[in-house]
Structures are given as C-alpha cells and as structure tokens.
Structure 1
Amino acid sequence: MQYRDFIPLVFPSELHTFVIAGPCSAESEEQVMTTARSLRDEAGVRIFRAGLWKPRTLPGCFEGVGEAGLPWLMRVQDELGMQVATEVATREHVELALKAGIKMLWLGARTTSNPFAVQEIADTIGKNDAVTVLVKNPISPDLDLWTGALERLRQSGVERIGAVHRGFSTYAAKTFRNPPHWQIPFDLKRRFPSLTVLCDPSHISGRREWIETLCRQAMEMNFDGLIVESHCRPDEALSDAAQQITPQTLATILHRLSVPRRQLGEQDEELLSWRMQIDQIDEGILEMLARRMQVADQIGRFKKEHNIAVVQSMRYEQLQRHRAVTAQLLGMDEAFVSELFSRIHEESVRLQTFDNSSPQTDEPTP
C-alpha cells in the first residue's frame, strides 16, 4: 500500500534536542507556574505540557482539574512566553481548549485506540492551520491503528500532525511500564519519512531512573524529539509520581544529550533495525527469567510445606539432557546452553534456599 507522507513540524527550541515537558497533571496554579518557569529558565524548554482531563484506568483516581486549569496554562503562555499543550479525549475538551487559546493538543493512547473518538476530535478541529495535534500510539502494538488515527485527522483537514511513541501495554511481567517495541515506531517512520515522531520516555519507563537511558536511546534512533513529564515536586504529584522528574534533573539530562548526532544512512538504518530486534528479544528474555524465578520461588515454598529436599538431582540431569538435545536441534552450542541453564538453576537454588531456610548446596534444581 502506498502512503502519502506528512509535513514535518517545526517547533520553537533553543535546545539541540527538541523537548516538550511539564507535569502529568495540572494540579494547582502555583504548581503549574513554578514548574513552567523552572523548565524555561533551567532546562531551556519552550513548550509546556500539562494534562487537564486525565482518563484513568480505575475510578476514584485523580482525573484532572478540567476546565478550571485552562487559565493557568494561558498564564504560562502569556507571562512566560511558552507554547502550551494539553490532552483532549472528547469534542468538549477540544472546544474548550481551542476557545481558551491553546494551539497544541495531543491524543492519548486510549483515545487513539478508539476510531470513533479520533473521528469526533478530528471533525471538531477541522481545518485549523494554527493547531498542532500529536497522536500517541494506541495501547496495543498495532501500527495500522496508529496510522489510522493520523489519517483520520489529515482527512478532516488537520495539517500540523505529529506522532508520540509512549510504549505499549502488556499483561506479562515486564521491565518497563509500557514496553517500547521499538520496531513499531521505526516502521511508522518508514511509512512516513517526514512525519515528526517524538518519544515519551516517561510513559515507557514508568520509573524516573530509566528516563535518561530511554532519552539517549531515542536520540540514537533518530527520533525528532522528546516529551517528558516534569514536576516541581514529583514525589507529591497526584498522578504518575514515580515517572516524573524535576526540571533540574531534566536540565542535567539534556546537557548530557547535547552531543550533535550524525544522520543515519541506509546501512545504519538496517543495523538499527537489527539492534531494535535484539533489544526487544533481550527484554523478553529478562521478563521470562523473572517469571521463571517467581515459579521457582513457589516451588521452594511447596517443598518447605511438604518437607521435600530442595535439591532434585535426577530431575536436574533429565532436564539438562533434554536441553542438550533441544540445543542441537536448534543449531546452538550444547556447552553454552548447558552452562546457561546451570547458572539459571543455581539462581533457583539460591532463591529456594534463602526463602526456605534450607542448607546451601552447590547442586542446582529446577
């Protein structure tokens, strides 16, 4: 299928790395102004983001201040000279934001996943040359659903359109809150080479200690910029506190990322694609290992309750023989596979011995 490319966006920025930043939620006028001023003065950020309407998974959580926060964002724009952006999920949100004077909107993952909601928003914005709309990827790793949201906006007359990669939800145990599946935004960029694609390390990670690593990885993959959650007092945030960083921390990260990047050639892109596949596989291996150790822990508790020895040598030898045969069939080195699973079993023994107060042993067990 042939795809018509999008027009690249141009943003105001004094930074080598283009950044949109601000708190997950606008909580008070003081919090908004303090955070925005620090982001401008200390981190050099020129576009301030803050959620007013917060679609939350469970009822009873803080769902944003709503329309009451619009004057706060306009103060940031008027007094600090920063462009402002907020999330919209309904026709009413769009109408209120545009009426207040907000020129940048974004669609969250839940909204992107709903074509009816996207169409309603697209029709409400219509042909408005002054409005920029950013579309986060859908909750599920579905490239066509993401593309469909972008196309609905374009067909309704919206011209200034960008995409935001925020990772994908999964039920399995995982390293990140929303595993990135880097191949999907990479394929989106292949479909639309001129489309502006930003990375949201805050929602991918779910934890502030991963923010810098993910920012660097995104820049190495030639993303066009970053959208980062930053709060003047992140530990007190009413939503997503664990993934927000202070403006000062963001300034430090951006300083470390300030080394200019060369443009990728065709050979580099092929290498980058392979690296993304390796990264995704490695994340899967770690998640599977974590699940295996959880099961090993449950087995250890069962053994303790039923007075069964931790070490099961016969079972271990049977497994190693089976894995040697499997390794041979898969074209892998038998010695490498034997050593790998020996170390995994040793860790299982350590967990079962530690958790169940059994004597230490050098022999592994499943």
Structure 2
Amino acid sequence: MKLDLKIQPLSSWIKATNDNQPLLIAGPCSAETEEQLVATAHLLAQTGKVSALRAGIWKPRTRPGEFEGIGSIGLEWLKRAKAETGLPTAVEVATAKHVEEALKAGVDILWVGARSTANPFTVQEIADALRGVDVPVMVKNPVNPDITLWIGALERINNAGITKLAAIHRGFSSYEKSAFRNEPMWDLAINLKTHAPDLPIINDPSHITGNRDLIPYISQKALDMDMQGLMIESHIDPSVAWTDAKQQVTPKALAELIDHLTLRKPEVKSAEIKDALADLRSSIDKIDDLVIQKLAERMQIVEKIGNYKKDNGITILQVNRWDEILKKGVQYGKALKLDNDFTEKLLELIHSESIRKQTEIMNAGTGVKENLTHV
C-alpha cells in the first residue's frame, strides 16, 4: 500500500555540494563547547563536501547522569557557526519547546530522534509545534524494528503540513550480537521505500556501526541501496568527545572517506544495458512464478496433512520433523551456494505458514480463531 505523503523533492531544501559526491550532513554528536563546535564547522566547510552542519544540543540518554547535551546555549553556537561558514544547521528536537527554541534560533533543519519516533505522543507534540511552519524535518527510524511506528511518525509530521520531509535510517536495536551497534535491517528501509517511493531516505552509518572503521562499508552499501544521502558524525578530536567517541571521525578523515565512495545511478540510459537487464529480469519473473506455483502446491499438501492430523488427533507440531526439514534444507541450500541464514529464514517462513494453515483446519467449526504467525 502506497502512503499518501505530500513531499517536496529533497533538492528543494538541501543538495549535495557537487554531482560526483553524495549529499552529506555532518558534525559532532554533541555540541560540547563553542570552540569545539565552531572549529569543527570550519574544518567541515573547508572540505567542500558538507551540505549541512549537524550537532546534538539536547541529548536524550538511556540513563540519568550521562551527558544530556549542553542545552539551549548551543543554539547560539550554531548561529555563530552558520554565520562564519555559511553551512545550514540541523538539530534533533524531542519536545515542543525544543522546536520553538530551534526555530527562534534560525535552525534550518530539524530531526526527530529514534527514541522520540517510538512514542506517538511525543511525535504528535512535535507535529503540533510544527503546524504552520515551513521547515525541513527528518525522522529517524524507531529504536526497535517496527516500520509501522516509523511510518506513523512520518505521517504525523506530514499531516502537520511539513512537506520538506525525509527519513533517516540509523539501524535497529537487536538482541543478537554483531559487529554493529544497531543492526541495519536493510529490508525495513526497503519496505519503507516501497510504501513511499518519493520519500528521501538518508543513512546514518555512525549510529548503525558505532565504530568509525565500519562507516565506509555502510556508507557505500547505503548509496548502493539508492539512499539519497548520509549523516555522519564528525568531531575535531574524536578521542576527547563527550559522547559516542568511537563512531566519530575527524573532518579530514571524513573528506577522505567521501572521496573513496562510488556514486551509482539508479536509472539506466544505455539501450544495450536496458535490453540485457530486461532479459535477465524476464528470466527472474519466470522463476518467481514457478516458485509461487510450487509453494501453492506445497500448501495444498499441507492442508491434506492438517485434515489427517485433525481426523486422527495428532498435534500440529512435531519437533523432530521440523528439525529434519531445517537441517536437510540448510545443507541442500549450502550445496547450491545459498547463504545459510537466508535458507533458514526462508524455511522458517514457509513452516510458519504451514503451522497457520494447519491451525486454521484444526479449529474449523470450533469457534476458535487463531492468528498464529510464529512457531
């Protein structure tokens, strides 16, 4: 289902500094001192690669006692940085008061943070404060992988009349340990793009990685996924940063990082390449049709099994059988050069639908309705 968002093109409110580099919003995680912020802004401006200066003024922290931002005085520092460098400024807002103070100070771009996006009451408060204002607003994905919350936040801001709108993909919290601070979960960003094709999505590799060494990898992946820009944290001296020191880079390192990224075009202009891609995509479409056909045939057999189990008083789930399917399938997929994780997730999805169908058969005529999606 397509979202009915009224959105102005990204180029109407922010642009990349040149056609050969990505749109870049950069600056320190936190504005710490006036000297730190202004000096960082000057170095970023000198790179010629930064389109806007970002800085955290109010910092929502997980636990009390941690540095929660310098507060409103930081807005004056941003005004000075903008006056001296010409860079537009961007800050995170989490309350109506933040919105009012930021706008009064002439901040050019606002963003809603991940913790705020997770709370519809907070988002609505921010949206109400924005009503009647013409300012760009970016909305980060919620902390947890819930695309409905992300969409809801975007809709609330858009319903307030904000048409200069973008999403920020900063990754999601996960119990699984990995190399990343927040799991990218690219499929959720792709899902959002499917719902809102005209919505710009800006990637935040700093918060995804939590590690400056991984920022180039995620940045390139984001650009290859046709995201419209990057938000990267940059500090004049990350080693002494008051917050998130490990994920910040110096302005010089940032410039080198951007120089090594490759911008690829989403549209194909060559007729020869278009024809070649069309042939390959036609082949994929035929295979996809066969896959769906075979899945439908499988589910017909599942229904027969469900009826047999019901007639003979057999439980839906036999753990040993499921283990056998999973082990055999993963081994077979590996032999065919399929990723183990992909094969396992595919089999789990198919098995989940099989359980749902059999549950539906078991409860037919009993008045019990099940919406079982996971084993």
TM-score, scaled relative to structure 2: 0.71
What are the Cα deviations for residues 4-55 of structure 1, in whole angstroms up to 9, with x where unaligned? Answer: 2433212133132100000000000110011111111025213000000000
Answer with 214-223 or 41-50: which moved more.
41-50
CA–CA distance in structure 2, aligned partners of residues 18 and 335 of structure 1: 39
Measure the CA separation in 1 of the matches of 2:153 and 2:324.
48
The 1:90/1:261 distance shift into structure 2, 3 A limit, reads same
Deviation at 1:167, TM superposition (A): 0.1
Task: Please say if residues 43 and 248 of structure 1, whose CA atoms lie closer than 8 Å, have aligned partners that are also in contact.
Answer: no
**Structure 1 residues 246 and 93: alpha-carbon distance in aligned structure 2, compared to 1, 3 A threshold:** same
Determine if contact 1:133/1:162 at 8 Å carries over to the other structure. yes
Per-residue deviation, 1:261: 1.2
Alignment of 1:127-142 (within 5 A): 127-129=132-134, 131-142=135-146
Aligned length: 287
Rounded to whole Å, the distance in 2 between the matches of 1:335 and 1:88 is 47
Q: Does 1:330 align with 2:329?
A: yes
- Shift in Å, 1:76: 1.4
Match for residue 263 of structure 1? Answer: 266
CA gap of 1:260–1:172, structure 2 versus 1, over 3 A, is: closer
| Separation in structure 1 between the aligned mates of residue 324 and residue 208 of structure 2, nearest angstrom | 38
CA RMSD across the alignment: 2.8
CA displacement at 1:329 relative to structure 2: 3.7
Q: 1:325 deviation in Å? A: 6.0
Q: Deviation at 1:84? A: 0.2
CA displacement at 1:2 relative to structure 2:
4.1
Q: What residue is the counterpart of 1:144 in the other structure?
A: 148
Counterpart CA distance in 2 for 1:335 and 1:221 is 26
Matched, 1:14 2:2: no
Give the one of 137, 141, 163 matched to 2:167: 163
Map of 1:68 onto structure 2? 73
Shift of 1:249: 0.7
Deviation track 1:73-96 (CA, whole Å, cap 9, x = no partner) reads 001111211100000001111111
TM superposition shift of 1:264: 5.0
Separation in 1 of the partners of 2:130 and 2:326? 57
Aligned to 1:178: 182
1:77 equivalenced with 2:78 (yes/no) = no
Q: What CA distance in whole angstroms lies between the structure 1 residues aligned with 2:66 and 2:333?
A: 52
- The answer to whether the aligner puts 1:232 opposite 2:236 as a matched pair is yes
Aligned to 1:109: 114
**2:214 maps to which of 204, 210, 217:** 210
Matched residue type, 1:214? I
Offset at residue 202 of structure 1 (A): 0.2
For residue 332 of structure 1, give the secondary structure of its aligned residue in structure 2.
Answer: helix
Matched ranges for 1:288-327 at <5 A: none
Of 245, 249, 252, which residue of structure 2 is paired with 1:248?
252
Counterpart amino acid of residue 237 in structure 1: A
Aligned counterparts of 2:263 and 2:203: Cα–Cα separation in 1: 18
Q: Is the deviation greater in 246-255 or in 4-13?
A: 4-13
| Partner residue, 1:341 | none
Alpha-carbon distance change, 333 to 252 in structure 1, aligned in 2, over 3 angstroms = same
What's the CA shift for 1:195? 0.7
Q: Tell me the CA shift for residue 246 of structure 1.
A: 0.6
Residue 3 (structure 2) aligns with: 3
Structure 1 residues without counterparts, runs of 5 or longer:
275-321, 338-366
Q: CA deviation at 1:110?
A: 0.2
Contact 2:2 2:196 (C-alpha < 8 Å) held by counterparts: no
Whether the 8 Å CA contact 1:85–1:102 is kept in 2: the answer is: yes
Distance 2:110 2:54 in 1: 9
One of 183, 200, 208 as aligned partner of 2:204 = 200
Q: Deviations over 1:78-134 (max 9, x none)?
A: 1211100000001111111111111211010000000000000011011222x1100
- 8 Å CA contact retained: 2:17, 2:48: no
SS at 1:231 equivalent: coil
Residue 87 of structure 1 corresponds to: 92
Percent of pairs identical after alignment? 45
Deviation, 1:336, is 6.2
Q: Give the structure 2 partner of residue 54 of structure 1.
A: 59
User: Structure 1 counterpart of 2:186, which letter?
Assistant: W
Alpha-carbon distance in 1 for matches of 2:328, 2:211: 40
1:266-311 deviations in whole A, cap 9, x for unaligned? 979x99xx9xxxxxxxxxxxxxxxxxxxxxxxxxxxxxxxxxxxxx
Q: Is the 8 A contact 1:74 1:100 kept in 2?
A: yes
Look up the match of 1:304: none
2:234/2:250 contact within 8 Å kept: yes
Letter in 1 for 2:43: S
Offset, 1:194:
1.0
Instruction: Name the SS for the 1:330 alignment partner.
Output: helix
Q: Normalising by the residue count of structure 1, what TM-score does the alignment of the two structures yield?
A: 0.73
* Contact 1:328–1:334 under 8 Å retained in 2: no
Unaligned runs of 5+ in 2: 269-273, 285-320, 337-375
